[in-house]
Amino acid sequence: MNEPYFSIEAYLDRVGLDAAVSCSEQGLEALHRAQVYAVPFENFDIMLGRGVNLDPQVLFRKLVLQRRGGYCFELNGLFLRAMLAAGFHARALLARVHQRGEPGGRTHQLALVTVGDRDWIADVGFGSNGLRAPLPLEPGRVSIQDGHRYRLADAGHYGTMLQLEQAGSWHNLYSFDLGYVSRADIELSNHFTSTHPASFFTWKRVANLPRSNGRVSLMDFSLTEIAGQQVQETKLAAGPAYLQALEEYFGIRLDAGYDALRPVKSAD
């Protein structure tokens, strides 16, 4: 059976790399950082009522050829194919998010990558608090990425926990184990996350694009730019100005007018 279409050359152009990376720890970090900084986290196809199609050719066309973004199943799905095309040994994992009280099901995708005799966690699709670079699968080791401090910790029956240090304390992001993940597992998780009314992504417009010294993020109409210690918040106007801001700050060009976006659920 032929492999679904994937062009490593087009992918490298999309993420701003001039040449293929080496199949090494340094190459993995270069590839990871390139996609994180180039392809935004966003959920606008969900808000447009289009859903999220994980067919590899659809994914490649959307994120690479149409230069859109996506959320974890799309971003990490594309990145997994890029890693495999570059010669890395990698496979998908699923995680439980722990940022909003009691964790739910495994609704976040990431990847396990083996380089030589060392295992790494790669994740280009967690949004504003996500990794910038791969993280060694070594619990207790602190990794500093663009000023952010991450570590892995024992999570008991939840497996391994990714944590981020904020204001001197370690905060849980998500937990995962190393069990085998099938395509059907991913499709099931993606369906819930992109359609269920309890899912944050079905009623909040979100976008995020890291920068080496900060990030720019969107939550409904609130745009936040962080550069070092400076934080600037802007309230976006509805209509054409909103679509213009998506393109200006995130490179997201929607092929639909503002009125096509689904209404945002009220906070209450």
Does this model's pTM top 0.85? My answer is yes
32 is catalytic: no
- Catalytic member of 32, 45, 98, 108: 108
Phi-psi region of 147 (alpha: psi -120 to 50; beta: other; left: phi over 0): left
108 is catalytic: yes
For residue 154, the one-letter residue type is D
pLDDT in tens, 111-125: 999 999 999 999 999
For residue 120, the cross-strand partners are: 113, 136
Q: Which residues touch 72 (CB under 8 Å, ≥6 apart)?
A: 41, 108, 109, 110, 123, 125, 126
- Catalytic member of 72, 157, 177, 259: 72
- Catalytic member of 45, 123, 148, 196: 123
Burial pattern 76-87, b for ≥16 Cβ within 10 A else e, equals: bbbbbbbbbbbe
Ramachandran angles phi, psi of 243, nearest 5° = -65, -35
Task: Give all domains of the chain, ordered by start, each with its CATH number.
Answer: 8-260 (3.30.2140.20)
- Give me the percent of the chain exceeding a pLDDT of 70: 97
Instruction: Provide mean pLDDT across the span 242-250.
Output: 97
* Residue 70 predicted with pLDDT over 50: yes
In whole angstroms, give the CA distance from residue 161 to residue 153.
5
In whole angstroms, give the CA distance from residue 12 to residue 165.
32
State both tokens at 6: 């994937």
* Residue 2 predicted with pLDDT over 50: no
